[in-house]
């Protein structure tokens, strides 16, 4: 991977926390003060590949907590510790962060408070910005008497570390978390730990978005351009704010509704991109997972905010949406709809002028988009009225609704998707066309 503005191939950095529960001992501290406890040991390591010009990543952890439904949050470490991930890599070791006794039970969350991340490269040492200093991960950790359970957190630096256009670092952690029961843990020299065996209870990859939300499937794609504004807020953009940039606002609505027994259409968008017509390059302007109810938008005639970023001034000729799911409510029953393609490529002329705002409103015509096969399966082949404007006055409400005033229309046409997933102007599947979904999941016209 090459970080933006730096040729810094970042390998995998693994931050490993090992929660070891091996019955009652008198050596560790005991935050619970009870006799019936298990032992918890939290360790850290770094399995990164060559970091080239990045020579240090110092992470300062102030507090570690675990959570259960019955006990709430339990602090297992409140001692501030700074760990150089790359120093751990060079020694190929896992070192303990804390060693305490913990009451048996099931714990569903782990929370870390990170106060500082310092990155040292060939230009010096700078502080990396975190979208949130709180890292919260959900996973099952069973603490039993006379047994050992572990939690391993691998922080993937190549997906976590970003550089803004003016050389500032952002660390939005991407973490692979694995929990085990009945594991074997051995202590080595220099406070090192090794973990073997056991039964894997959970294994999931968590990420953090620019708002600091953490969850499975969340993250900031590696090719995303990021900025840090004057208030310290992380923003998605194609360059630093100021000269040579304009604002792009993309909204979604549904102005048509004639679906009778369909009471909700939930469209989940995982990524929004625009294509620079000159360079031909795709630029990510939103990587947040967002779900929009097309029926609700139609009911209140509103435009929901999908993206609001600063980008380089210029012309963008296509908008690309990545859609993960379409879920319906039909006659009070949950249904899913099949998309011919999960990538929506929407032709548009988005003219972004310096220090001005350009907008794109995507009006999903749900009644033209939704189809039913002969055996009652649903297909959503989007038909979208696209309207783009330049030099618009835009306001966004607290409810994330977009209000547009004025502007110069640069695009106004309908685009649609056929059964093969192709999109184009005035393309669509006619309302009388019979469709079927094969055993291979392919949509066809019989």
Q: What is the pLDDT of residues 183-229, one digit of tens each?
A: 888 888 877 778 888 889 889 999 998 888 898 878 887 767 788 87
Residues in CB range of 310: below 8 A, 6 or more apart: 227, 235, 237, 238, 239, 241, 245, 246, 247, 248
**What percent of the chain stands above pLDDT 90?**
35
Q: Is 179 within 8 Å of 202 (Cβ atoms)?
A: yes
Which of 63-72, 386-395, 423-432 is predicted with the least confidence, judged by mean pLDDT? 423-432
Q: What is the per-residue burial (b if ≥16 Cβ within 10 Å, else e) of 182-197?
A: ebebeeeeeebbebee
Per-residue pLDDT reduced to its tens digit, 311-370 = 888 899 999 999 999 999 999 999 999 999 999 999 999 999 888 999 999 999 988 899
Per-residue pLDDT reduced to its tens digit, 232-276 = 888 776 544 443 678 888 888 886 556 778 999 999 999 998 988
The domain locations on the chain are 38-216, 237-444
**Residue 32 scores a pLDDT above 60:** no
pLDDT tier for residue 114 given thresholds of 50, 70 and 90:
very high
Distance between CA atoms of residues 379 and 349, nearest Å: 28
Average of pLDDT values for 109-116? 94
**What percent of the chain stands above pLDDT 70?**
85
> How many CA atoms within 13 Å lie on the side-chain side of 10?
25
**Residue 26 scores a pLDDT above 60:** no
> Of 320, 286, 134, nearest to 210 (Cα)?
286
pLDDT tier for residue 5 given thresholds of 50, 70 and 90:
very low
- The pLDDT, as a whole number, for residue 340 is 93
Average of pLDDT values for 28-49? 54
Average of pLDDT values for 390-396? 92
Q: What is the DSSP string of 1-20?
A: ---TTS--------------
Round the average pLDDT of the chain to a whole number and report it. Answer: 81
pTM attached to this predicted model: 0.58
């Amino acid at each position: 991977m090459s970080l933006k503005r730096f040729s810094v191939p970042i390998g995998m950095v693994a931050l490993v926390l090992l929660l070891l529960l091996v019955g009652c001992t008198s050596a560790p501290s005991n935050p619970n003060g009870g006799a019936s406890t298990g032992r918890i040991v939290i360790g850290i390591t770094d399995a990164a590949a060559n970091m080239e010009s990045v020579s240090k990543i110092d992470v300062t952890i102030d507090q570690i907590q675990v959570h259960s439904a019955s006990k709430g949050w339990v602090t297992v470490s409140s001692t501030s510790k700074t760990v150089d991930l790359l120093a751990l890599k060079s020694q190929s070791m896992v070192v303990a962060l804390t060693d305490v006794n913990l009451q048996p039970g099931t714990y569903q969350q782990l929370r870390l408070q990170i106060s500082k991340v310092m990155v040292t490269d060939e230009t010096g040492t700078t502080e990396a910005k975190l979208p949130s200093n709180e890292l919260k991960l959900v996973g099952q950790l069973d603490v039993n008497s006379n047994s050992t359970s572990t939690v391993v957190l691998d922080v993937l630096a190549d997906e976590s570390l970003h550089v803004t256009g003016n050389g500032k670092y952002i660390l939005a952690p991407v973490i692979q978390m694995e929990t085990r029961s009945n594991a074997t843990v051995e202590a080595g020299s220099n406070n090192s730990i090794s973990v073997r065996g056991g039964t894997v209870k959970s294994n999931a990859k968590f990420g953090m978005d620019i708002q600091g939300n953490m969850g499975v499937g969340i993250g900031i794609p590696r090719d995303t351009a990021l900025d840090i504004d004057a208030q310290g807020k992380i923003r998605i953009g194609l360059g630093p704010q100021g000269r040579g940039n304009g604002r792009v606002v993309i909204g979604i609505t549904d102005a048509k509704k004639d679906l009778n027994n369909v009471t909700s259409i939930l469209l989940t968008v995982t990524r929004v991109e625009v294509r620079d017509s000159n360079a031909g390059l795709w630029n990510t302007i939103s990587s947040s997972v967002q779900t929009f109810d097309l029926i609700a938008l139609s009911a209140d005639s509103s435009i929901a905010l999908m993206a609001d970023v600063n980008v380089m001034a210029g012309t963008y000729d296509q908008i690309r949406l990545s859609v993960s799911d379409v879920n319906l409510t039909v006659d009070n029953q949950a249904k899913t709809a099949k998309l011919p393609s999960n990538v929506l490529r929407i032709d548009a002329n988005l003219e972004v002028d310096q220090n001005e705002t350009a907008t794109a409103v995507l009006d999903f015509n749900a009644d033209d988009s939704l189809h039913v096969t002969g055996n009652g399966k649903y297909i959503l082949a989007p038909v979208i009225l696209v309207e783009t404007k330049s030099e618009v006055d835009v306001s966004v409400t607290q409810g994330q609704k977009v209000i547009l005033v004025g502007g110069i229309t640069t695009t106004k046409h309908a685009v649609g998707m056929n059964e093969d997933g192709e999109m184009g102007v005035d393309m669509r599947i006619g309302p009388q066309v019979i469709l079927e979904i094969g055993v291979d999941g392919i949509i066809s016209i019989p």
